[in-house]
Amino acid sequence: MTVDHTHRALRPVEASPGVLVHPTADRRLATGQWLSAAHITSAAEARREWRKTGMTLLRLGGIFSAVRIPLRVALAPVGFDRPSREADEFLSFALEDGPVICDPAGRRYYALVPASMPTTWHVAAAEWREDEVDCLGRGVYLGVPRLERTTLQPGSLDSYWSVPMQSAGALCTPLAVARLIAAGKHALAEEGGLL
């Protein structure tokens, strides 16, 4: 599968008459501010942690939640078995450029979704648990890499943005996430593999 997506950087925004366009740096700053509002103690502490360690711990269920998807489920539709640029391109396409964090060490992805998804999709979320897919919300904290960490570093197991967040509040749609999970489960079932 070839997907022509160059999502390593934020996508440029086309100007139209009467539309204000913000430069990439402004969008990245706004996105960082938005995300840091979910920090356990303060937005300033989130920014310090990103500068110092490249990661910060953010509280889920307030401004966004996450769906944790095992790598084998997320990448089964295209037959990949590890994170890669091609896997990132597939996820960008499948999740319509919604933000995704890759945790290579844990062999899983985190699709960032609206805060309400764990509640509104609770029936589907209960069914997904048998496949080790979890809808994470209130009471859960997620390690989030700094926004500039957008590629898998050779020899590293550090988390990175498999699909970078395009702007503040721009999240994966629950339906796109559900379709990806269904496609992954279907592909694994066709292979005869056990989830």
3-class DSSP state for residue 134?
Answer: strand
Mean pLDDT to the nearest integer, 33-49 = 94
Binned at pLDDT 50, 70 and 90, residue 23 comes out as low
Which pLDDT belongs to residue 7?
43
Rounded CA gap, 52 and 65, in Å? 25
Nearest Cα to Cα of residue 63 among 170, 162, 166, 149: 170
Average the pLDDT over 173-180 and give the result.
Answer: 97
pLDDT attached to residue 13: 55
Cβ atoms 115, 65 nearer than 8 A: yes
Backbone angles phi, psi at 110, to 5 degrees: -125, 110
pLDDT-derived band at 195, boundaries 50, 70, 90: very low
The residue length of the chain stands at 195
Please state which of the ranges 7-16, 126-135, 143-152 shows the lowest mean pLDDT: 7-16
The SS3 assignment for 168 reads coil
Q: What H or E segment, with its residue span, contains residue 160?
A: strand 160-163
pLDDT digits (tens, 9 = 90+) for 135-149: 999 999 999 999 999
- Token pair, residue 121, equals 């999709």
Asked if 146 contacts 55 with a C-beta cutoff of 8 angstroms, the reply is: yes
Q: Which residue from 40, 14, 83 is spatially nearest to 91, judged by alpha carbons?
A: 83
71-95 average pLDDT score = 96
Tell me the two tokens of residue 26: 């402004």
**Model confidence, pTM:** 0.86
Element containing residue 182 per DSSP (H, E): helix 174-191
